[in-house]
């Protein structure tokens, strides 16, 4: 079973949404936290997410699926396995050893790529990953996030000419 309602139920059952005082990766303060790291360690949640995204891209011309490290890599991997699309992993920064690559996996010129992320607040980390793909010859055709906190990410994506497609908006969780 793969539906938005089922995903919301799974996230509730696994206590992914926490209430309290939290500082987010963007530096903003919040009275709730979405613990997607807990969610993406649960096989049923990952499977549901990957099925929902794969259904959405079934009729698209897509070459690769990408996710920025760390939180999106399990999601991108699950989507890769479900959709049979090759995987790209986007590092936060180039490592200073080995191949020193920012993108792991084979990105070819003009590859059509979907990107996935666990949670979006301002969208900064995912936009940075998208820029890395674009700077290396790829074309980002769709961007998915499991949960949109509805704090400006969609607007930032719109400015960049890309539509952010959340599986869940945070207000749907609290309804």
CATH code, 20: 3.40.50.2020
| pLDDT confidence tier of residue 111, bands split at 50, 70 and 90 | very high
H/E stretch holding 64: strand 64-68
Cα 83 to chain centroid, rounded: 15
Both tokens of 164, joined, read: 């952010």
More confident residue, 122 or 145: 145
Q: Tell me: pLDDT of 97 over 80.
A: no
How far, CA to CA in Å, does 57 sit from each of 6, 67, 80?
19, 16, 12
H/E stretch holding 140: strand 139-148
- 47 labeled part of a ligand binding site: no
- 92 labeled part of a ligand binding site: yes
- 124 labeled part of a ligand binding site: yes
Both tokens of 139, joined, read: 């074309």
Residue 151: domain span:
4-174
- 19 labeled part of a ligand binding site: no
The number of folded domains in the chain is 1
- 125 labeled part of a ligand binding site: yes
pLDDT of residue 102: 87
More confident residue, 113 or 1: 113
Q: What is the pTM of this model?
A: 0.91
């Amino acid at each position: 079973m793969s539906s938005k309602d089922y995903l919301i139920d799974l996230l509730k059952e696994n206590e992914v949404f926490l209430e309290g005082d939290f500082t987010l990766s963007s530096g903003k303060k919040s009275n709730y936290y979405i613990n997607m790291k807990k969610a993406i360690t649960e096989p049923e949640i990952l499977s549901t997410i990957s099925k929902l995204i794969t259904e959405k891209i079934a009729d698209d011309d897509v070459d690769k699926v990408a996710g920025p490290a760390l939180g999106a890599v399990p999601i991108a991997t699950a989507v890769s396995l479900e959709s049979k699309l090759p995987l790209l992993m986007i590092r936060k920064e180039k490592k200073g050893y080995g191949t020193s690559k920012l993108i792991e996996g084979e990105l070819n010129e003009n590859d059509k790529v979907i990107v996935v992320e666990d949670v979006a607040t301002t969208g900064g980390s995912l936009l940075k990953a998208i820029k890395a793909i674009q700077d290396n010859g790829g074309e980002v055709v769709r961007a998915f996030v499991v949960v949109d906190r509805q704090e400006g990410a969609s607007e930032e994506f719109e400015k960049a000419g890309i539509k952010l497609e959340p599986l869940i908006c945070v207000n749907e969780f609290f309804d």
